[in-house]
Amino acid sequence: MIVLTPLDEAALVRLLEAAEAGADPLDVMPPVGGPPGWTSARRDAFLAFHRARCLDPATAVERTWVIDADGVAVGAARLESHGDAVEAGIWLARAARGRGIGKQVTALLLAEARASGAAGLVASTTVDNRGAQSLLAGIGADLTVDGDEVAADLRLGRSR
Ligand SMILES: CC(C)(COP(=O)(O)OP(=O)(O)OC[C@H]1O[C@@H](n2cnc3c(N)ncnc32)[C@H](O)[C@@H]1OP(=O)(O)O)[C@@H](O)C(=O)NCCC(=O)NCCS
């Protein structure tokens, strides 16, 4: 069963373990210099990144959830406010990709976006990320290509 668990300090530790075990740092956080892989500097930056963006009320800009598959952390999902819309993001550890989890998480994020009263859901990805484009097209988002970038936009209406 796929569940979105709101991020807290305990969930953040589980999320870092999932990232270290199965994701490239560049897929899950901004670049940090140094040798490749999950160095201690990147682990610290991963924790600081999520504390600043989600857990610290003084600086938070988004809601983040750990994606739990049968109770095991396999990735993260987020919704960041942009005016009256929310920007969605998802990453999954390699072993969890290609099994339909992204599709379920996208549906859960869409439900959260609707429940929040947002007027739209937006997302951005790249032209080579067919999986992400498929997820976004699958919920009816309009996709616009600009060079290597793909912008997705779904109007949510006010029917709740
Ligand atoms: C992108 C990502 C979230 C997709 O999640 P996923 O669980 O692997 O995707 P699913 O198994 O739910 O598949 C959803 C759809 O995408 C398609 N798909 C998935 N991976 C694909 C790939 N590499 N190439 C082409 N299509 C792909 C599936 O066939 C499925 O299509 P359908 O709706 O027609 O059945 C996941 O692969 C991931 O975390 N990648 C690394 C981080 C990332 O790129 N995040 C998005 C940044 S914008």
Structural domains of the chain ordered from first start: 2-155 (3.40.630.30)
Question: What is the percent of the chain where pLDDT is above 90?
Answer: 98
Contact indicator for 67, 92 with CB cutoff of 8 Å: yes
pLDDT digits (tens, 9 = 90+) for 21-45: 999 999 999 999 999 999 999 999 9
Is residue 90 within 6 Å of ligand 1 at its C-beta? Answer: yes
Strands (E), 17-119: 62-69, 72-82, 85-92
Mean pLDDT computed over 72-100? 97
Cα of 134 vs centre of ligand 1, distance in Å, is: 7
Average pLDDT of every residue of the chain: 96
- 65, 135, 139: residue to mutate for ligand 1 pocket, most atoms within 8 A of CB: 135
- 29, 65, 94, 97: residue to mutate for ligand 1 pocket, most atoms within 8 A of CB: 97
Collapsed DSSP state (helix, strand, coil) of residue 100? coil
Sequence-ordered alpha helix ranges (H) in 51-157? 101-115, 130-138
Is residue 107 within 6 Å of ligand 1 at its C-beta? Answer: no
